[in-house]
Amino acid sequence: MTGRQPPTGGAQRHPLPATVAPALAPAVGVGTGRPAVEVLRARAYLSRVAEPPAPALAAFVEVLGPVAAAARVQAGDVPGPVAGETAARRTTDRAEADLEAAHDAGARLLVPEDGAWPRAALAPCLLAGVPALAPPVALWVRGPRRAAELSERAVAVVGARAATSYGTHVAGELGAGLAAAGVTVVSGAAIGIDGAAHRGSLAVDGATVAVLACGVDRVYPAAHATLLERIAATGLVVSEYPPGSVPARHRFLVRNRLIAALGAGTVVVEAALRSGAQRTATDTEALGRVVMAVPGPVTSGPSAGCHQLIRDGALLVTSTDDVLEAVGRLGADLAPEPGLPARATDGLGRAAALVHDALPARGARDTRWLVRESGLPPDGIRAALTELERRGLARCCDGMWQLARPGGGG
């Protein structure tokens, strides 16, 4: 970007038809290698010029490409919807300063022209046609991993900040279990469920991605300074907001669509009826991904949102195996059947089971009494008692039969 002052009152030439962007989107901005410097500068400028989500700007860039789109935006030569999203900031060109600030913070600008761009993960943001789900024009990232690879097999784990010990335990177990299975854990680095999920992944040396509602050069929340450094050392810290951007309430809701997009599904561990986690679940469903929820006590306020999600059709999950089955490979990631507690009477035939039920808890009875109680003929009684005695479930004492007690006592 040149930094010169553009003319005021941009022209409205060449309006962008609503049907153009979806048609050209697959052909524009596809990259497999390192983007050119002018592309990085253009997208750095565009990432600051509009407050996300900016659907009109995103479509405009898809059609014209970032360099031409940035020049048109800076000159004010854009269609009305794009002007509405960019007019307030179009004269602010801090591309060079933002790129330098990112470098100083150990971060970099990731753009769609880069082979590391999570194209498959973010494609539904464009195809959904929902303005609130518009894709970012760029991502600022900090960490050694490639976003494209991390998002190939990933699950978002989100939930309440005011989480219970039950919730943080479950989130930590899910984070560790998913990471151990080679799945990237995506969350928002918030206090509570988010932090527990990240820590669970890190505990088993897994990959995790933290999506922030501020610049990647900022530490928010401050209590998670060490956690964010650990994530940046082995995974990725991601934001669509340029360096220096401060966290704001609306930005937490906006970034949730990226959390939803980067995972094949979203697990909500604890959530109030109205919460950011609920918003993430809504975005997940709109993107065509799997919404999952962990049940809690029916008396627990922090689990009320999860219970409502389940009533509305979210998949109830209680373990890593459940999650992997929901988002994994067809036929390859099936959850094992739950193991049932073994009982001494498992496998008894019908006759033996009837006689076992007929034997008194106290005292002993003869075979005639057992015939009346069980409704079986004498021959059936004798065969059943033989089976029960062999299995240590009945014993005979002076011609009378009784239940065998644990330890072999009478």
Retrieve residue 255's tokens. 């970034």
132 and 263 share a domain?
yes
Task: State which amino acid sits at residue 347.
Answer: G
Distance of CA 102 to the CA centre of its chain: 27
Retrieve residue 217's tokens. 């050069």
Distance of CA 229 to the CA centre of its chain: 21
**Sheet (strand 107-110) strand order:** 107-110, 139-142, 236-239, 208-211, 184-187, 154-158, 265-268, 290-293, 315-316
306 and 274 share a domain?
yes
Position 34 in a domain: no
Angle between helices 378-390 and 350-358 (to 10 degrees): 90
Residue 75 contacts residue 52 (beta carbons within 8 Å): no
318 and 177 share a domain?
yes
Position 379 in a domain: yes
Range of the domain at 197: 102-327
Domain boundary among 261, 292, 327: 327
Retrieve residue 56's tokens. 């009109």
- Number of domains the chain contains: 2
Retrieve residue 112's tokens. 């769609």
The partner residues of 99 in beta bridges, in order of sequence, read none
302 and 202 share a domain?
yes
Q: Where are the alpha helices (DSSP H) in 181-263?
A: 193-203, 225-234, 249-262
Position 306 in a domain: yes
207 and 270 share a domain?
yes
Q: Show pLDDT as tens, one digit a residue, over the chain (410 residues).
A: 433 333 333 333 333 333 333 323 333 334 456 789 999 999 999 999 999 999 999 999 999 999 999 999 999 999 999 999 999 999 999 999 999 999 999 999 999 999 999 999 999 998 878 999 999 999 999 999 999 999 999 999 999 999 999 999 999 999 999 999 999 999 999 999 999 999 999 999 999 999 999 999 999 999 999 999 999 999 999 999 999 999 999 999 999 999 999 999 999 999 999 899 999 999 999 999 999 999 999 999 999 999 999 999 999 999 999 999 999 764 445 556 666 677 778 888 888 888 888 888 778 888 888 888 888 998 888 888 888 888 888 888 888 888 886 544 44
- Burial code of 387-407, b = ≥16 C-beta within 10 A, e = fewer? bbeeeebbbeeeeebbbbeee
CA–CA distance, 326 with 319 (Å, rounded to integer): 11
286 and 385 share a domain?
no
In the 8-state DSSP scheme, what is residue 365?
B
190 and 128 share a domain?
yes
